[in-house]
Amino acid sequence: MFSSRVTGDLEPNRVTRAVRRARAAGTALIDLTVSNPTMTGIPYPASVLDPLADPAALRYEPSPFGLPDARAAVARDSARHGIDVAPERVVLTASTSDAYSLLFKLLCAPDGDAVMLPVPSYPLFDHLTRLDGVRSIPYRLEYQGRWAIDFDALDRSWTDTVRAVLAVSPNNPTGSMLTAAELAALTERCEARDAALILDEVFADYPLSAQNSSNPDRQKAQSACLTFRLGGLSKSAGLPQVKLGWILVDGPETLAGGALVRLELICDTYLSVSTPVQQAAPSLIAAGAVVRAGILDRIRSNDHELRSLAVGYPSIQVLPCEAGWSAVLRVPSTRAEEDLVVELLERDGVLVHPGFFFDFPHESFLVVSLLPERPAFVEGVRRVLERAHA
C-alpha cells in the first residue's frame, strides 16, 4: 500500500466498488475500458518475442543510456515521423512512466518545484508527480469543435516554480493533437521562462483517419527550448510486457548537452532497462510494424462502428478524435456520470469510464476503448447508447 502522503486519497469511488463486486461475483462483463492490446485478440507473430532469447543477453554491460545498437534502432524508427535525432540523444527507459520519473528527478527539486499537466488527460500523471515529490499545476484543454489549449488559463496558472510543461499529443483520452501553432506557443513560453517541454507522443502511430497519418507538426527543426519526446514499445509495437521506453532529447546544444550530463548520473544510478530487451530492441521495433497495423485496423474499424451506431441517437455526440485508442461520448446530463456508469455496469453488464476519471471540465462524458474485438465492442456500444439515451 502506498501512503496517503504520496498518493492522496485512495478511497474507492462507487464505480470502483461496483466493478470489484461484479468481478468478485464472476459477472460476465463487456469491458469497454480495456487498454491492453495483448488481451483483445490482436494478431501477433508467433516469433515476435524470440529475439529476447538472444545469447548475447547473457553478457551484462551496463550502460546508463542504453546499448548503442538499441539507441540507434530507436533513432532510425523515429525517422518514420520525420524526427531526426542522433542516437547519442536517445535515452532508453523501462517504460514511459519510468521516463517521467527520470525527468522529474532531472528537472525538479522535490517539495517545491512544479510541472504543468493538461486536463482532461490520463490520471496517472497525478500519481507520478506525487511519487517524485513534485507539485502538479493543471492547465485546461477547452472543447470548441476540437480540444485546444486555453493559453490564457495556462498563463494565469504559471508560477515561478514551474520547471516543465507536459503536453500529450495525441492526448489520452480526447485524441486531440497539438497544432503547429500550439506547439510553437508552448515552445516560446518554455524558452522565455526557462522551463522544459515534455512531449508524450506514445499514441502517435495511431491516427484514426488517413489525413492524420502524416503529422507535419512533429516534423520540425531543432526546438528552441529544452524538449523531451517520449515513446515506447508498449504502444508503438503493442508490447507493454517487454518494458522498453525512450526519451528523445532535443533543444539548443548547451541546454541539451547539460541535461544529458545530469541525466546520465540519474540513469546510471538506476540502470532500469534489462539487457535482453535492449539486445532485442532492433528486432522488436521492426516486428512492431505488423502488430501496429493490426491495432490500427481494429481501432479505425471500431471508431467507424461507433460513429455509425451513434447516428441513431441524436442526443449523444461522439466527439471528434484525431488519434489514439479511445473515444469520448458526450451524453445527456439527466443523471450524474457516476450513476450512469454504475447503471451500465449493474444493469447492462458493460464497463466504461466516466469523464471525471480524466478530469473533464463538467458532466456528462463517457470514455470507451476502441481496442475490444468487434462483436463485443458493437454490442457494448449498443447497450451504452440505449442506456445513455433513455
pLDDT digit string (tens) for 319-352?
999 999 999 999 999 999 999 999 999 999 999 9
Specify whether 358 is located in the same domain as 346. Answer: yes
Specify whether 108 is located in the same domain as 78. Answer: yes
User: Rounded CA gap, 348 and 234, in Å?
Assistant: 31
Specify whether 16 is located in the same domain as 72. Answer: no
Specify whether 84 is located in the same domain as 34. Answer: no
Specify whether 278 is located in the same domain as 259. Answer: yes
DSSP 8-state code for residue 115:
E
The answer to whether residue 49 sits within a structural domain is no
> Which residue reads 441524436 in cell numbers?
314
Confidence at residue 104, expressed as pLDDT on a 0 to 100 scale = 98
Cβ-in-10-Å burial (0-12, 13-18, 19+) of 230 comes to buried
Between the CA of residue 369 and those of 33, 101, 278, what are the distances in Å? Answer: 5, 26, 30
Specify whether 147 is located in the same domain as 266. Answer: yes
The answer to whether residues 389 and 334 touch, using CB atoms and an 8 Å cutoff, is no
Tens digits of per-residue pLDDT, 188-217? 999 999 999 999 999 999 999 876 554 544
Number of domains comprising the chain: 2
> Whole domain around residue 350: which residue ranges?
4-43+289-389
The answer to whether residue 63 sits within a structural domain is yes
Specify whether 151 is located in the same domain as 198. Answer: yes
The answer to whether residues 328 and 321 touch, using CB atoms and an 8 Å cutoff, is yes
Q: Could you tell me the strand order of the sheet in which 326-330 lies?
A: 317-318, 326-330, 365-369, 353-354
The answer to whether residue 234 sits within a structural domain is yes
Amino acid at 371: L
Is pLDDT above 50 for 8?
A: no
Q: Quick one: three-class SS letters along 87-99? A: HHHEEEECCHHHH
Beta partners for 149?
141
% of the chain at pLDDT higher than 70? 94
Segment holding 74, helix H or strand E: helix 68-78
User: Rounded CA gap, 252 and 111, in Å?
Assistant: 28
User: Rounded CA gap, 340 and 331, in Å?
Assistant: 10
The answer to whether residue 172 sits within a structural domain is yes
CATH number at residue 366: 3.90.1150.10
Tens digits of per-residue pLDDT, 139-196? 999 999 999 999 999 999 999 999 999 999 999 999 999 999 999 999 999 999 999 9
The answer to whether residue 51 sits within a structural domain is no
Q: pLDDT-based confidence at 1, cuts 50/70/90?
A: very low
Specify whether 259 is located in the same domain as 209. Answer: yes
